[in-house]
Amino acid sequence: MVKIVLENVTKIFTKKKQENKVLDDITFEVADGNFFGIIGQSGAGKTTLLRIIAGLEGPTHGRVKFDNTVVAEEGKIMVPIEERNIGMVFQTWALYPHLTSYENIAFPLRAKKMDENEIESTVLHLAKMLGIEEVLGRKPGRISGGQQQRVAVARALSKNPSLLLLDEPFSNLDATIKDNARSLIRTVQKEMLITAIIVSHDPADIFSLASDTLAITDGRNAQMDRTANLYHKPNNITVARSIGEMSVVQGFLTRDSRNDVEVKLGGSCKLGFRRDELIATAPGNNSDIRVGFRPESLELLDEKDISLKGSNDWALIGNGVVKICSYSAGIFRVLIRLEGLEDDIAVSSDVSIDTDSRISLYAKRHDLKLFDSRGNSILDYSTRTEKQGGPNNERRWISAST
Amino acid sequence: MTFLFVVPTLFFAGFLLYFIVWNLYYSFLDYSIIHAHNPQFAGFGTYSSVLGDPLFVTAFGRTILWVAVCLAATNALGILIASLIFFLDNGKLKSIYNSLFLYPISISLAASAVIWTWLYNPQEGINSVLTALHLPAFSGLSSPSTAELSLIIVSIWIYSGLSAIFYYSSFQGVSTQVIESARADAAKAHTIVFKILLPEAKNAFIVATVTIFLFVLRMFSLPYVATGLDPFTMTLSEQMFNYFTTEFFSKASVVSIVVVIIAAAVIVPYALFGVKRWISGD
Amino acid sequence: MIKPLKLAKKAIHHAILIVLAALWLIPVYAMLIDGMKSAGGVLTTPILQPTGLSFTSLIEVSTALELPIVNSLIISVTTAAVSTLVGALAAFYFYKGRSWTNNSVFVIIAIATFIPYQITLVPVTEILSTLGLFNTYPGLIFTFVIFHLPGGALLMTIFMSNLPKSIIESARADGAGDWAVFSRVAFPLTLAGAVSTFILTFVEVWNNFFIPLVLTSTPNMYTASISLLSYTGGYGTLYNDSFAAALVASLIPLLVFVILGRYFMRGFLALGSGSKG
Ligand SMILES: Nc1ncnc2c1ncn2[C@@H]1O[C@H](COP(=O)(O)OP(=O)(O)OP(=O)(O)O)[C@@H](O)[C@H]1O
Ligand SMILES: [Mg+2]
């Protein structure tokens, strides 16, 4: 186990005299034994960050520490990757095609010059734990993707690393076996007490594994927080969207003399908030803003249904039509277009709704996310009460992690 | 410390560099059998005597002509052979034909010279077939007017297969969908070759041309074994060897430098162009 | 309606190829046919006519060429092995290296690969004479390595550049140092390329004529290709046996080509089209 510290890490790639700043002043710490996530859009710099932690690249500026040892600083790598005791799982798994699964898993142990009996017992133990005993004699080309992935995990773990690095380790797996693979990693990490860092653009990976997460946008630290907070209290629209779906519509904010806030959406919808309900820290009194909705904080009703009318928690956003309704994993995703609004809004629903049905859209008043025109959050989240909905697995996750 | 891995290779490559510098140095002396013990600095003296030597001048011209004819012929034949093979349906047949045209390159030039000397034999060789068919005889190596042509033909036989596989492999890089849709449009084979395949074969042209250029530029053993140091077939390399065996060492060095300059004019751009494709390309 | 036309086209296509291929095969056909004629037979019958099978020339020549062939084997195998293995080491240095030094060294090696070896005629003779390596195996091998090692390094670099970067990085993460990464991952995974490099070098060295011509003077150091000289024109030569001699001297590279032609071709293609050969 090891504590990982990054201080002001900046990475600049120079190609043909053109400087490309891929990471900009990244600072964070991963506590001993923690499972840490890094999320961001494609090209954000996630892989580069992981490679710097691994020692495959040096930081152009700043420093990386393992516990109290400086392993890399200002472009120099002091401790090379082979001495960092790292287990890595690459997106492509990068198994040695000329070696059997057994030899793949044994490779790091042979590099350590471990004796043959010990190698055998380690490999067999891991193979049993990961359920790949029957493929040990086969080469990577002759086993399934899921098995290859587990061999890659076993190889990363066999040397008993103090740090496990995972770069999109599940993206090449079928959806049906992803969850199995995630739970396996989670179990192993806990059992072996390894500090672990996972890079992914898939929120499902992050939610299922990481207790704390760094969201990077264009190489900058956009938000570093408890994973759940990235979802509920995002600093900006990009972070909000990288960790889960969010529909954004144009709005207009006014404040009266008592600091009560009114948010106008489209033509007809007006939402009023008392100052103890919602504090918008910016911008000025009469400003364009952007309003974000998570799909699960929205509710669709038939246009004639008035059951939520007058509710304290739910506010009518507007009426409109269903553009399309699609299905994934037990939930219907409905895309709707409200009258007077230019953007489509995505809503999750338990039932299928016909295209072109007329509907009313209600939103949970306390789950609105407000952003200024540049996309930065203008909410003072500290006034928000701590209980919200959210993806179900995520709520379970919070209780499991604490 | 990966640099250590390249040190042995650099050590040997360093010799080559050293040899070139050595040649350059000696080309400015008058080192020969006459001045064997204390060669003097001669400036461009040796250069001017070599460049004024009719033997050198003809050898130079002949080598250039050889290169030009051989390049034209091997590229043309390479394209022809590659296209013919490319349009075969049977994969096995394709690779058999490819090998059939390439095999001469695995035989030494010396052995080829021996065989072709016989084929050019006025009585027993190809001429026996030509006479049987009542065709005019080919005087081959025995007449000064056809000796060089005869040898050029041998070099074409040797290198066409090489040029063909370069073209063939670049044809194979062309998307099959493009070719299939051209076929669906009932395009003629030659249209496909000239309009679709050849425009994509720029690389093959460069590679075939450069490789064969360098092979022919250093042509030595084919004419040497076939005709000896014969004034009617002598190449630059042979002329260099000629100076060497007659112990005009500085003159041999001058020829080396001439060859290096010609070769470098092709190799340096080629290597720089190749670096991209060879390693950093993909 | 269309079918007969198509068939005719196909027939013409095949006919052209067959005629061309036949033309290409004439020399090797003559070599085989006449190599197996007696010495007198070669002189008295047209060389494209297969008559009077006799192995006398072949046996005589084989005996005479035994030593040159052994010499050629020793020199070619050693040079090819050194060029391939040492070249592979260099290739590992070049692997995905992007530094300025790395690129410059690579350009030097690439240029060295293509320099005509004849130009070293004078200096190489001088050096080997000074070192007392004239007429020796080490002298010949040393010289050949100078010319073929850069090519070996270039070819191995091209083949190695196909290795996925992540595999090499995995090996590093797994705690392997440079040597272990090279010997246990990079080289084994480039084995097919190494075979191509070895074969290409082997055949080139075997067939080289100029270097042994310049660097040997005693018949017991002759290689297969220069011993052919005593079977060609000129005074007192064994003109009649020349076919058999060419056959015997070419047998090994030809066999290598027939059996391992795939690797041979891949070597040339790699040089030509970069890593995708
Ligand atoms: N070796 C390199 N040289 C130059 N630029 C690089 C290099 N590696 C990465 N980059 C650039 O850095 C940026 C970030 O790349 P990185 O691979 O870290 O992104 P990522 O967040 O992992 O993206 P993805 O989700 O697509 O994997 C990209 O613009 C990429 O082009
Ligand atoms: Mg990435």
Question: In chain B, which among 231-260 make CB contacts under 8 A with chain C?
Answer: 237, 240-241, 244, 249, 252-253, 256-257, 259-260
Say which residues have a Cβ less than 8 Å from residue C50's Cβ, sequence separation at least 6: C33
User: Mean pLDDT throughout A147-161?
Assistant: 92
Q: What is the pLDDT of residue A401?
A: 32
- Least Cα distance to C208 among C120, C269, C107, C108 occurs for C120
Contacting subunits of C (3+ beta carbon pairs below 8 A): A, B
Do the Cβ atoms of B237 and C116 come within 8 Å?
yes
**3-class secondary structure for chain A?**
CCCEEEEEEEEEEEECCEEEEEEEEEEEEECCCCEEEEECCCCCCHHHHHHHHHCCCCCCEEEEEECCEEEEECCEECCCHHHCCEEEECCCCCCCCCCCHHHHHHHHHHHCCCCHHHHHHHHHHHHHHHCCHHHCCCCHHHCCHHHHHHHHHHHHHHCCCCEEEEECCCCCCCHHHHHHHHHHHHHHHHHHCCEEEEEECCHHHHHHHCCEEEEEECCEEEEEEEHHHHHHCCCEHHHHHHCCCCEEEEEEEEECCCCCEEEEECCCEEEEECCCCCCECCCCCCEEEEEEECHHHEEEEECCCCCCCCCCCEEEEEEEEEEEEEEECCEEEEEEEECCCCCEEEEEECCCCCCCCEEEEEEEHHHCEEECCCCEECECHHHCCCCCCCCHHHHHHHHHHC
Q: Tell me the pLDDT tens digit for each residue of B217-240.
A: 999 999 999 888 888 899 999 999
Return left, alpha or beta for B199; rule: phi > 0 is left, psi -120 to 50 is alpha, else beta.
alpha
- In this prediction, residues A279-301 reach a mean pLDDT of 79
Q: How far is CA A188 from CA A95, B227, C243, in A?
A: 20, 78, 73
CA distance C90 to chain B (A): 4
Q: Lowest-confidence range among A51-60, A91-100, C92-101?
A: C92-101
Measured between beta carbons, which residues in chain C are less than 8 angstroms from residue A90?
166, 169-170
The residue behind tokens 């390596």 is: C133
**A85/C175 touch (CB, cutoff 8 Å), yes or no:** yes
For ligand 1, residues with CB inside 6 Å are A 13, 15, 20, 22, 40, 42-48, 201
List of chain A residues whose C-beta atoms are within 8 Å of the C-beta of residue C189:
96-98
Q: Which atom of ligand 1 is nearest to the CA of A40?
A: 21
Print the domain residue range for A174: 4-236
pLDDT of residue A278: 67
Look up residue C231 and give its DSSP letter. Answer: G
DSSP chain B: -GGGGGHHHHHHHHHHHHHHHHHHHHHTB--SSTTSSS--B-TTHHHHHHHT-HHHHHHHHHHHHHHHHHHHHHHHHHHHHHHHHHT-S-HHHHHHHHHHHHGGGGS-HHHHHHHHHHHT-TTTSHHHHHHHTTPPP--GGGSHHHHHHHHHHHHHHHHHHHHHHHHHHHHHTS-HHHHHHHHHTT--HHHIIIIIIGGG-HHHHHHHHHHHHHHHHT--HHHHHHHSS-TTT--HHHHHHHHHHTT-HHHHHHHHHHHHHHHHHHHHHHHHHHHIIIII--
Q: Are C144 and C202 in contact (CB under 8 A)?
A: no
Q: In the prediction, which pLDDT does B280 show?
A: 57
| A195 & A88 share domain | yes
Ligand 2: centre distance to CA C165 (Å): 14
Instruction: State the DSSP code for C239.
Output: G
Ligand 2 center from residue A133 Cα (angstroms): 30
User: Is residue B255 within 8 Å of B243, Cβ to Cβ?
Assistant: yes
pLDDT of residue A390: 41
Tokens 């001017």 appear where? B48
Find the CATH number of the domain harbouring A337: 2.40.50.140
What CATH number does the domain containing A203 carry?
A: 3.40.50.300
* Whether residue A377 has pLDDT greater than 90: no
Distant-in-sequence contacts of A133-142, Cβ < 8 A, 24+ apart: A135/A101, A136/A100, A136/A101, A136/A102, A136/A105, A137/A100, A137/A101, A137/A102, A138/A100, A138/A101, A139/A97, A139/A98, A139/A99, A139/A100, A139/A101, A140/A93, A140/A95, A140/A96, A140/A97, A140/A101, A140/A104, A141/A97
The pLDDT confidence band at residue A387, using thresholds 50, 70 and 90, is: very low
- Please give the distance, rounded to the nearest whole angstrom, from the Cα atom of residue B99 to the centre of ligand 1: 44
A378 pLDDT above the threshold of 70: yes
Reduced to 3 states, what is the DSSP secondary structure of residue C1? coil
Rounded Cα–Cα distance for residues C219 and B260 (Å): 31
Range among A360-369, A372-381, C228-237 with highest mean pLDDT value: A360-369
What pLDDT score does A58 carry? 93
Task: Using pLDDT thresholds of 50, 70 and 90, give the confidence band for residue A273.
Answer: confident
Q: Does A145 touch chain C (CB under 8 A)?
A: no
pLDDT of residue A276: 66
Per-residue confidence band for B282, with pLDDT thresholds at 50, 70 and 90: very low
Q: Residue C170's closest CA among A97, A113, A93, A46? A: A93
* Predicted pLDDT of residue A254: 80
Tokens 């990481």 belong to A210
Average pLDDT over residues A6-27: 92
How do A86-89 and A163-167 pair as beta strands?
Answer: parallel
Counting ligand 1 atoms within 8 A of each CB, the residue from A14, A46, A57, A242 with the most, and so the one to mutate, is: A46
Query: Could you tell me the pTM of the whole model?
Result: 0.86
Does the distance separating the beta carbons of C172 and A80 come in below 8 Å?
Answer: yes
d(CA C112, CA C154): 10
Same-domain pairing of A198 and A75: yes
The pLDDT assigned to A391 comes to 41
Using DSSP bridges, classify how beta strands A163-167 and A195-200 pair: parallel, antiparallel or unpaired: parallel
- Measured over the CA atoms of residue A24, residue A27, residue A33 and residue A36, the dihedral's sign is negative
B163 CA to centre of own chain: 11
What per-residue confidence (pLDDT) applies to C277? 33
Same-domain pairing of A83 and A193: yes
DSSP code string of C160-171 = HTTS-HHHHHHH
In this predicted structure, the answer to whether residue A392 has a pLDDT above a threshold of 50 is: no
Per-residue model confidence (pLDDT) at position A395: 32
Tell whether B128 is within 8 A of chain C (Cβ).
yes
Query: What percent of chain A stands above pLDDT 90?
Result: 41
Q: How many CA atoms lie within 13 A of A63 on its CB side?
A: 10
Nearest CA to ligand 1 atom 24: A42
> What is the distance between the terminal CA atoms of chain A, rounded to a whole angstrom?
20
How far apart are the C-alpha atoms of C142 and C122, rounded to whole Å?
A: 16
pLDDT at A389 over 50: no
What is the C-alpha separation between A129 and A106, in angstroms, rounded? 15
Same domain, A210 and A257: no
Cα separations in angstroms, B212 against A87, B108, B239, B266, C268: 50, 16, 20, 11, 12
Residues 158 through 197 of chain B touching chain C, CB cutoff 8 Å: 161-162, 165-166, 169-170, 173
Protein residue with least CA distance to atom 18, ligand 1: A45
Q: How many A from CA of A198 to the centre of ligand 2?
A: 11
Q: How buried is residue A33: exposed, middle or buried, by Cβ count under 10 Å (0-12/13-18/19+)? A: middle
Domain ranges of chain C: 64-273
**B32 interfacial to chain C (CB closer than 8 Å):** no
Q: With a cut of 50, say whether residue B147 has pLDDT above it.
A: yes
Query: How many CB atoms lie under 10 A from the CB of residue C67?
Result: 16
pLDDT at B243 over 90: yes
Cis peptide before A283 (omega within 30 of 0): yes
CB < 8 Å to C42, chain B: 118, 124
The distance of C67 to chain A (nearest Cα, Å) reads 40
Do A295 and A160 belong to one domain?
no
Domains of chain A: total: 2
Same domain, A266 and A225: no
For the structural domain made of C64-273, what CATH number should be given?
1.10.3720.10
- Greatest mean pLDDT among A296-305, A390-399, B25-34, C43-52 lies in B25-34
Rounded to 5°, angle at Cα A62 from A60 and A63:
110
| Integer CA distances (angstroms), B222 to A63, A67, B248, C207, C225, in order | 64, 70, 23, 12, 11
Instruction: Please name which of B189, B262, B250 lies closest in space to residue B29, comparing C-alpha atoms.
Output: B250
**C164, C172, C184: residue with CB nearest A81:** C172
What residues in chain C have per-residue pLDDT under 70?
A: 1-2, 233-240, 273-277
Q: pLDDT value at position B128? A: 83
Scan for tokens 């697995």, then name that residue.
Answer: A393
In the predicted model, what is the mean pLDDT of residues B138-144? 85
Q: Are B147 and B231 in contact (CB under 8 A)?
A: no
- Chain B residues touching residue C161 (CB < 8 angstroms): 278-279, 282
* pLDDT reading at B281 higher than 60: no
Q: Which domains does chain B have, with CATH numbers?
A: 53-246 (1.10.3720.10)
Question: Which residues of chain B are within 8 Å of residue C242 when distances are taken between CB atoms?
Answer: 114, 117-118
Are B and A touching by the rule of 3+ CB pairs within 8 Å? no
Contacts of C94 in chain B (CB under 8 A): 6, 279
Is the pLDDT score of B200 beyond 70? yes
Asked if C164 lies within 8 A of A80 by C-beta distance, the reply is: no
Residues A224-266 pLDDT 10s? 999 988 888 888 899 988 888 888 888 888 877 777 777 787 7
Answer whether residue B161 shows pLDDT above 70: yes
Do the beta carbons of residue C169 and residue C78 sit within 8 Å?
no
Asked if the model's pLDDT at residue B271 lies above 50, the reply is yes
The ipTM assigned to this model is 0.91
Looking at residue A74, its pLDDT comes to 92
Smallest Cβ–Cβ distance between C233 and the set B203, B228, B267 belongs to B228
Contact with chain C for residue A92, Cβ under 8 A: yes
Least reliable range by pLDDT among B195-199, B227-231, B278-282, C98-102 = B278-282
Asked if pLDDT for residue B188 goes beyond 50, the answer is yes
Please give the number of the atom of ligand 1 that sits closest to the Cα of A57: 1
**Cα separation values, C1 from A55, B184, C4, C9, C14, Å:** 70, 18, 7, 13, 21
Q: Which ligand is nearest to the CA of A242?
A: 1
Q: Closest ligand 1 atom to the C-alpha of A44?
A: 21
Characterize C168-182 residue by residue with b for buried, 16 or more Cβ atoms within 10 angstroms of its Cβ, and e for exposed: bbbbbbbbbebebbb
What residues in chain C have their Cβ under 8 A from chain A's Cβ atoms? 164, 166-167, 169-177, 180, 184-185, 188-189
Nearest ligand, CA A40: 1
Q: Count of residues for chain A?
A: 402
